[in-house]
């Protein structure tokens, strides 16, 4: 996300249209729409996922999207059936085609400027620089993915459990963002590491199960609020009953390199954490639920005779904050 590192960058990102000369705004809008393959003929209307701020973005930065990613922070767009998705990118100093690729899934508060940008991108960009990783962060805005059915659970089923085509699923955004980042950067990587915290951790946990870890080098799910249990006792989205996951896919998911990362102080049960008969059976708080889920998954894998390559890590002193979990997650993904 452009200009999101540090206080000055945050101010730049949130420069409003009223502070810019009108002719410059028009040129920037035209450039953004043309790069995304869109031609909007409704005045100054932007795609629903676009912010009404451009910060210090220049026309050259837009042209870089046609020829490759510039060093530092930038963004590109991908098209999915729901509309245009912004993907925020950080390309580290010394990037090569063999540099690792990290996909970051943000949490439940999905206002672009504050939560996605400040709480996630500004935390993860310095870590990507430290470890030499290409950072890729798709924006799952609330306008486009309004509920947990569309975001956390991957938009694979409707609330009435009707199937949704793969191209319409939220998981397809992850694939497309990775593929375009590889194309634009010249990366040779065919797999990526993925991290999510909170609601993003829920999405990562489910993505591993639904994909069987096909494109994953390592997955880190941090402090999910509740889980899709990897067995058939409970109906989707709380379990696999009614989920489009074959046993062969489940076996591959268990063999994937996944780390469940739990903050030892994430023990509050009074915050907006889902509480019903299904989730309460998993534990009273996120820390308990994570312990329960890992134990249950290991038991299910043993019953299937499947290889179990998941790991449980705890972060001392960390509560329910991405900023308290990110450094440990980055170290895990870098090794």
pLDDT tens-digit series, residues 291-335: 999 999 999 999 999 999 999 999 999 999 999 999 999 999 999
What is the pTM (predicted TM-score) of this model? 0.80
pLDDT higher than 60, residue 48: no
- Give the least confident one: 19-33, 110-124, 171-185, 225-239: 19-33
Residue 285 in tokens: 């708080």
Domains of the chain (ranges plus CATH)?
67-334 (3.40.50.1820)
Residue 234 pLDDT exceeds 80: yes
Higher-confidence position of 61 and 95: 95
Query: Is the peptide bond between 237 and the residue preceding it cis, with omega within 30 degrees of 0?
Result: yes
Which of 56-60, 252-256, 272-276, 304-308 has the lowest average pLDDT?
A: 56-60
Rg of the Cα atoms in the chain: 20
Model confidence at 10: pLDDT above 80: no
**244 in Cβ contact with 206 (< 8 Å):** no
pLDDT, residue 291, reads: 98
Alpha helix (H) residue ranges in the chain: 6-13, 22-35, 59-67, 122-131, 170-185, 199-211, 247-255, 277-280, 286-304, 322-334
Q: What is the 3-state secondary structure (H, E, C) of 83-145?
A: EEEEEEEEECCCCCCCCCEEEEECCCCCCHHHHHHHHHHHHHHHHHHHHCCEEEEECCCCCCC
Strand order in the sheet with 72-80: 72-80, 83-91, 134-138, 101-105, 192-197, 216-222, 258-263, 310-315
Please state the rounded mean pLDDT for residues 87-111: 93
């Amino acid at each position: 996300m452009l200009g999101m590192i540090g206080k000055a960058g945050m101010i730049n990102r949130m420069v409003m249209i009223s502070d810019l000369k009108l002719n410059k705004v028009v040129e920037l809008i035209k450039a953004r729409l043309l790069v995304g393959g869109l031609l909007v003929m409704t005045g100054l209307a932007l795609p629903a996922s676009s912010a009404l701020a451009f910060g210090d973005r220049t026309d050259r930065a837009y042209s870089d999207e046609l020829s490759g990613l510039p060093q530092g922070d930038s963004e590109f767009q991908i098209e999915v059936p729901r509309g245009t998705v912004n993907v925020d990118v950080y390309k580290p100093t010394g990037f090569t085609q063999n540099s690792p690729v990290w996909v970051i899934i943000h949490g439940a508060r999905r206002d672009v400027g504050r939560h996605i940008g400040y709480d996630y991108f500004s935390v993860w960009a310095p870590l990507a620089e430290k470890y030499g990783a290409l950072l890729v962060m798709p924006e799952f805005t609330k306008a486009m993915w309004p509920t947990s059915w569309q975001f956390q659970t991957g938009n694979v089923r409707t609330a009435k459990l009707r199937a949704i085509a793969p191209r319409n699923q939220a998981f397809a955004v992850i694939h497309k963002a990775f593929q375009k980042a590889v194309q634009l950067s010249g990366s040779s990587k065919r797999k990526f590491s993925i991290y999510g915290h909170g609601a993003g951790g829920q999405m990562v946990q489910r993505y591993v199960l639904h994909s069987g870890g096909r494109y994953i080098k390592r997955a880190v799910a941090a402090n999910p609020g509740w889980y899709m249990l990897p067995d058939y006792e409970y109906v989707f989205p709380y379990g696999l009953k009614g989920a489009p996951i074959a046993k062969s896919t489940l076996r591959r998911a268990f063999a994937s390199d996944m780390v469940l990362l739990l903050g030892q102080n994430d023990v509050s049960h009074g915050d907006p954490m889902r509480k019903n008969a299904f989730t309460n059976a998993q534990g009273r708080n996120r820390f308990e639920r994570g312990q329960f889920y890992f134990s249950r998954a290991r038991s299910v894998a043993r019953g299937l005779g499947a290889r179990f390559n998941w790991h449980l890590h705890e972060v001392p002193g960390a509560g329910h904050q991405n900023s308290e979990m990110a450094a440990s997650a980055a170290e895990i993904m870098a090794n």
